[in-house]
Amino acid sequence: MRPLCTLLLAALPMLAAGPFTGTWKIDVSKAMFSDKPDTIELGNGIYKCPTCDPPITVKADGVDHPVSGSPAYDTMSVRIIDDHTVKVFAKKDGKVGYQQKTVVAPDGMTETVSFTSFPPAGAQPVTGTVSLRRVSKAEPGMHAVSGSWVAEKAENISDNGLTATFDETADGLKMTQPTGEHYDAKFDGKEYTYEGSAELNQVVLKRIDAHTIEETDKRDGEFRGKAKMTVSPDGRTMKMVVEDRQGRISTFIWNKQ
């Protein structure tokens, strides 16, 4: 599944080395999400997300159904609460890894997704909300969540989902996050172990120049996403441009703490 909050959360594992060691935090008020929409189809008891990674089709009956293609989950359940509200639960080996509640506004033009992501390392869950704007209407007779949507802003994200700490060495970078994700990689273009993530297990770092690093994240050698981060001249902020496997490009600003 490609959660609606994925673009924000994707920036966390992709943050690469800057010229200064320290702890950094995303300024969610400055996040610029991709304008490439996600599409949901919910009707006749079937929930579909053709733009998810991987695409999803399950019965919307509140029961766990097997799904394939994602290293982060192997079952999904979709529960219709009312005409404007839907809950989704994704599990791995029977344990919830991600859940979200989507509430569509009365006019049907916006929706709010409240999410909880459970790190596999057992750390505290990441919580927050994402607001989306409708860019295409639902077909007649479909549930209100149906149609195409683009993310506009994120709010109330828990601090453990916004921060990362880095220890830069002469030839590489160590990264740790409160969620338990971490790696120790060199700037040589080789694959290094990425631990604590449900979706990633390898990272590749490449230094572009003194203020710019490109990071590529993988799962068993398969590309999962990349990011280019540029540190400001004063070293206080970092601009990260993130691209996922579907070509969605989003921009995040991190502040040095």
257, pLDDT greater than 70: yes
SS3 of the chain: helix, strand, coil, percent, to 5: 5, 55, 40
pLDDT at residue 146, rounded to an integer? 98
As a dihedral over the C-alpha atoms of residue 162, residue 167, residue 168, residue 171, rounded to 10 degrees, the angle is -120
pLDDT averaged over the chain? 92
Q: Residue 1: inside a domain, yes or no?
A: no
Q: 186 and 144, same structural domain?
A: no
- Give the pTM: 0.89
Look-up of token digits 């859940």:
99
4, pLDDT greater than 50: no
Q: 218 and 185, same structural domain?
A: yes
Q: Which two tokens stand for residue 76?
A: 């999904």
In which domain, by residue range, is 51 found? 38-159
Q: 207 and 95, same structural domain?
A: no
pLDDT tens-digit series, residues 14-63: 444 347 588 999 999 999 999 999 999 999 999 999 999 999 999 999 99
Angstrom distances, CA of residue 153 to CA of 131, 147, 211, 250: 5, 19, 28, 12
